[in-house]
Structure 1
Amino acid sequence: MNQTRPQQVAWDAGLADLAQPPPLLQSWGHGEVQAEEGWRVERINLPQGQASVLLQGRRPFARAYVPRGPVPTSEAALGGLVAWARNSGLARLRVEPEAPSELGPVLHRLGFHPSQAIQPKHTLIVPLASDEVMLASFKAKHRYNIRLALKRGVGVEEGREPEELHRQTQATAARQGIALLSTAQYRARLAKLAWCRTYVARHEGRPLAAILVAHFGGRAYYLFGGSSGEQRELQPTYAAQWAAMRAARDAGCRDYDLWGIPPEPDPDHPWFGLWQFKIGFGGRQTTYCGAWDLELSRWRARGAGGPAQLAGRARQTFTRQAL
């Protein structure tokens, strides 16, 4: 279980003072998860902001990645981060701010250029409200499926079940030909994030689906999910999402980030099924500015490897989803 330390409290409180909601991926706990998975983490107090920086490689060939940061996404904070990176002798800096595309001109002025996104660039954020208000905002099919699951006796348990989450996500990963996390990686998130739980949908004691949800700074995040594929007619994935949304609302969260959708409803897109599932929960479609790279030294950056290598390393440990 997560043991809160004074440094963690101060860091997360500082983020909350700088942005509302503060980004989960800049939280102290998220840095602890990434440290366990092989990154070096440096938490930087900038002149006008904060940045949790993930480092790969050794100086002078080190590369840095700042997921959903710095905080705030101001020119002053970005400039302070660039100055820190130069003074630290880094070869390359990648940022992926939680900011709209309008930040692009600022990043260009600071010498950044667009790169391959690691985190979801497009997402859907669902406002949390009373049961009646939320259900009314969902598509009719989603309301029907939620009520069907409840009527047919699908129950959802909130807890810490990394083994069951792994079993469910592995079943989905096998069907879709994708890679998801290990049991140990799920366990680390449950232990180290400020608030993180599994929601397991069961029917007559048999687990049918599971999701992983984190809360931070008044926002809930659906990070991972999967289902065995058994008894899909009972709609266990809808029941799990509904339970997580209601629990987040009751815990004081204002909204629920569904963590990634395709850029448009293209039936040929490999994530079209994900689009259909998530868009039915209503909410606000949000697009971020994506990832941006700054080459701090051309010869050292060549020695450090290209941006694609950093992206590949990041994707080994950052979030993916399945249904």
Structure 2
Amino acid sequence: MNAARQHQVAWDAGLADLVQPPPLLQSWGHGEVQAKEGWRVKRLNLPQGHASVLLQGRWPFARAYVPRGPVPTSEAALGALVTWARNSGLARLRVEPEAPKELGPVLRRLDFQPSQAIQPKHTLIVPLASDEIMLAAMKPKHRYNIRLALKRGVCVEEGEEVEELHRQSQATAVRQGITLLSTAQYRARLAQLAWCRTYVARHQGRPLAAILVAHFGGRAYYLFGGSSGEQRELQATYALQWAAMRAARVAGCRDYDLWGIPPEPDPGHPWFGLWQFKTGFGGRPTEYCGAWDLELSRWRTRVAGIPGQLAGRARRIFTRQAL
């Protein structure tokens, strides 16, 4: 085992010693993915825990972001992280702990203020058990659609089909007017995360839908997906999730994170269809405390934000011109 691999194994094992399940976004592999996308990564062995910190900007205007961290989400670990940030001369520290909203008073005591969430604040976590137990926990329509897809010959293959995942997700992105990852970004996740695979649903050899799933520390995560929109009556997207859940169970995962739902079942919400799809698989609704900012220097934070504001204005101007 080379030195880099030793560091990865030691870091991930250290997270698992502190909390179960350890957060995927604090894993060594996730830091490597973010390093390829422009962040500087600093992994801290704090006296009271660990934190994989993503850094942006140069001192004295550097800002830090800790996704789903620190680990654990104790007041002692948060306090140690704040001390490091102050001593490092950061302009701002943003944390998004994998902790319930009850952590809010602790964060306020440390002078954090609520910010715009970056990661999903609400999700569903499905316990993985026998086929019979998992199917019984689903809504009747979902059980019916899974069985229908299998009966009609939808087949799901596990692999590393980056191009097909990108093609399917781009079809969804165009329909919904959203932006998803590039082929290179999907490939980086497959290469760097501790365990990551694509699942592609096909009917008579024709690809209909694809998803990207990661495993870490005994939990599986449905990260990205898309479908061509063709032959929807075959219910390929239901077969995909079912195959990924069953494979995760066989691999030793205890549960499956569906990675984001709207906060309420509001028919007027643009993600209401997503809420209907995901909640039908059963699972435990989970609400996290969201993102919190600590401004360590107000003027340096403001100055650091100016390039981003200008870039955003330029993008809006370009979009209006393009339309």
Q: In which range does the TM-score fall when normalised by the shorter chain? A: over 0.9
Distance between the aligned counterparts of 1:4 and 1:302, measured in 2?
37
Q: Which residue number corresponds to residue 135 of structure 2? A: 135
Q: Which runs of 5+ in 2 are unaligned?
A: 313-323
Q: Which residue number corresponds to residue 272 of structure 1? A: 272
Once the 2 structures are TM-superposed, how far is the Cα of residue 35 of structure 1 from its aligned partner? Answer: 0.2
SS of equivalent to 2:265: coil
Deviations 1:21-42 (A, max 9, x none): 0000000000000000000000
Q: Which residue number corresponds to residue 240 of structure 1? A: 240
Once the 2 structures are TM-superposed, how far is the Cα of residue 79 of structure 1 from its aligned partner? Answer: 0.3
Once the 2 structures are TM-superposed, how far is the Cα of residue 4 of structure 1 from its aligned partner? Answer: 6.8
Q: Which residue number corresponds to residue 120 of structure 2? A: 120
Q: Which residue number corresponds to residue 38 of structure 1? A: 38
Deviations 1:116-165 (A, max 9, x none): 00000000000000001000000000000000000000000000011100
Q: Which residue number corresponds to residue 302 of structure 2? A: 302
Deviations 1:257-278 (A, max 9, x none): 0000000000000000000000
Determine if the alignment matches structure 1 residue 93 to structure 2 residue 83: no
Determine if the alignment matches structure 1 residue 20 to structure 2 residue 12: no
Matches for 1:159-178 after TM superposition, within 5 Å: 159-178=159-178
Indicate the structure (1 or 2) with the bigger Cα radius of gyration. 2
Determine if the alignment matches structure 1 residue 185 to structure 2 residue 171: no
Distance between the aligned counterparts of 1:12 and 1:58, measured in 2?
28
Distance between the aligned counterparts of 2:133 and 2:167, measured in 1?
34
Once the 2 structures are TM-superposed, how far is the Cα of residue 55 of structure 1 from its aligned partner? Answer: 0.5
Distance between the aligned counterparts of 1:74 and 1:96, measured in 2?
13
Q: Which residue number corresponds to residue 320 of structure 2? A: none
Counterpart amino acid of residue 260 in structure 1? G
Q: Which residue number corresponds to residue 227 of structure 1? A: 227
SS of equivalent to 1:266: coil
Matches for 1:282-321 after TM superposition, within 5 Å: 282-305=282-305
Distance between the aligned counterparts of 1:182 and 1:305, measured in 2?
26
4+ residue stretches of structure 1 with deviation over 6 A?
A: none
Distance between the aligned counterparts of 1:91 and 1:221, measured in 2?
32
Q: Which residue number corresponds to residue 318 of structure 1? A: none
Distance between the aligned counterparts of 1:298 and 1:267, measured in 2?
40
Distance between the aligned counterparts of 1:99 and 1:78, measured in 2?
12
Counterpart amino acid of residue 242 in structure 1? W
Counterpart amino acid of residue 245 in structure 2? M
Once the 2 structures are TM-superposed, how far is the Cα of residue 240 of structure 1 from its aligned partner? Answer: 0.5
Counterpart amino acid of residue 115 in structure 1? S
Once the 2 structures are TM-superposed, how far is the Cα of residue 305 of structure 1 from its aligned partner? Answer: 1.4
Distance between the aligned counterparts of 1:76 and 1:303, measured in 2?
31
SS of equivalent to 2:66: strand
Deviations 1:63-110 (A, max 9, x none): 000000000000000000000001111000000000001100000000
Q: Which residue number corresponds to residue 82 of structure 1? A: 82
Q: Which residue number corresponds to residue 147 of structure 2? A: 147
Deviations 1:46-71 (A, max 9, x none): 11100000000001100000000000
**TM-score, scaled relative to structure 1:** 0.94
Q: Which residue number corresponds to residue 198 of structure 1? A: 198
Q: Which residue number corresponds to residue 73 of structure 1? A: 73
Distance between the aligned counterparts of 2:67 and 2:281, measured in 1?
26
SS of equivalent to 1:305: helix
Once the 2 structures are TM-superposed, how far is the Cα of residue 303 of structure 1 from its aligned partner? Answer: 1.5
Distance between the aligned counterparts of 2:49 and 2:217, measured in 1?
17
Counterpart amino acid of residue 197 in structure 1? R
Q: Which runs of 5+ in 1 are unaligned?
A: 313-323
Distance between the aligned counterparts of 2:202 and 2:23, measured in 1?
32
Once the 2 structures are TM-superposed, how far is the Cα of residue 242 of structure 1 from its aligned partner? Answer: 0.3
Distance between the aligned counterparts of 1:145 and 1:57, measured in 2?
48
Distance between the aligned counterparts of 2:129 and 2:145, measured in 1?
19
The worse-fitting range, judged by mean Cα deviation, of 296-305 and 275-284 is 296-305
C-alpha RMSD of matched pairs (Å)? 1.2
SS of equivalent to 2:99: coil
Deviations 1:199-230 (A, max 9, x none): 00000110000000000000000000100001
SS of equivalent to 1:94: strand
Counterpart amino acid of residue 86 in structure 1? R
Q: Which residue number corresponds to residue 260 of structure 2? A: 260
Q: Which residue number corresponds to residue 8 of structure 1? A: 8
Q: Which residue number corresponds to residue 320 of structure 1? A: none
